[in-house]
Structure 1
Amino acid sequence: MFRFIRIALSDFADLLFPTLCLGCTRSLTANEKILCTRCRINLPETGQHRRADDDHILNKFAGKVPIQFVASYLHFSKGGIVQKLIHRIKYKGQKEAAREMALWYGDLLKREGSKLPELDLLISVPMSKARLQQRGFNQAEWIAAGLSEALAVPMQADILVRKRFRSSQTRKNRIERWENVKNEFVVRQADVIQGLRVALVDDVLTTGATLEACAVALLQAGCSSVSVLTLAATR
């Protein structure tokens, strides 16, 4: 009886305050989450998980740090749906959207990611305490949680620590981004990651400077290999 009442109240609330697609703002059906079926089908997937030799994305790290594998779920373009989704996640508090999209990506990797190496641990890119207090959550943690659930690979959010807040990376070039983050990351539990094959998880791969700095810290602390998984990547 109580279950029936809860369901009825939930349905009534949906009529008054329908859940909207984060892409086109249409009302979602009961079987849709985050995006309507049309928006989800039209997401600009990269397909990078099927190719171990994607020169464009690998070149972001070439000659800088040995990254075993790099893949991003979606292409990020200015003004596109992916930018809208990332903006809603980071600045509108849509953290559940980050986890849900990561579940979609993790399922795709599990089904089609034949090039994905064996992984022992997922590590989210950390925020500074100041930025975390400002935003209230770290979107990379929510993405890592979704990937962890889908891939059945454990994740930890407290391995890497960002020492302090630096200026935003948004309008910086490759060199400026690296100068902004080099030596910023510290491994707090080096004994936990000795010899492990880890994957760094973040929202968007742009120049790769932040992920590069994280990878350097992890490799110096004893990881056997570092891969990179992100929700999106710039072209």
Structure 2
Amino acid sequence: MSNVKSGFVMERRSLDLRFRSVRLSAREWLAPAYVRVRLSGADLAGFDSLGSDDHMRLFFPEGDAAPASVEEMRAWPSREYTPLAWGEDWLDVEFAVHGDDGPGARWAASAPLGSIVGVGGPRGSAVIVGDPGSWMLVGDETAIPAIRRFAAMIPAGVPARIVIEVATAADEVEIDAPVAVQWLHRGEAAAGSALIAFLEGLGEADAVGPDPFCFIAAEQQIVKPGRALLARWGVDVSQAVVKGYWKRGELEYHAPH
């Protein structure tokens, strides 16, 4: 590990855990298997998300009746997502939609406008305090919302690299970032395979820059090669986020916070 003091730290911050009942107000397909939805409602007053990698839980009812209680809402099928953007009475969320997805992606793809949905959290955040000397953002399509939020934090001129794996060129979406996004196409190969090969091919000389913040998130098998890269680059794990956002064959898997 490097003995040079880092210019930033990751701080844990808590938020009051609140549950909200809102409705689907808009849907925009950004790619054939990637959709952005807007949730709206007065319950969103006071909503906040301090960290770019935050997780909130969305609850999807079988019908269209508002929940009679928080307990009833929490009994609905649910999945975790990263808040993308929000205002006083609206919240934008993006979904990767595939044929074998659970209730969340199906709801995002096909629920009628006006459909009800529950929102829980976020309940805690990991916040970058200070200024990383460089940035390395790596993920699959499920990590695009977090990558969007991290990319918005990168100052112009600071060394950065953004690498995203999707199935094909048709699955690429626009990312507002100060550097060009490098897209990897896995084709018919297993999800994460292109990212794993990419990470395993990076050596010490490929470090993005000094004092990097590294974000690496995709299918669970990304964790081992991601942590191995941190070791090669001499990056302390406390200065990085490396996690499996989902796990092949486990629809109920939830990324660790």
- TM-score, normalising length: structure 2: 0.36
Q: By percentage of residues, which structure has more helix? A: 1
Q: By percentage of residues, which structure has more strand? A: 2
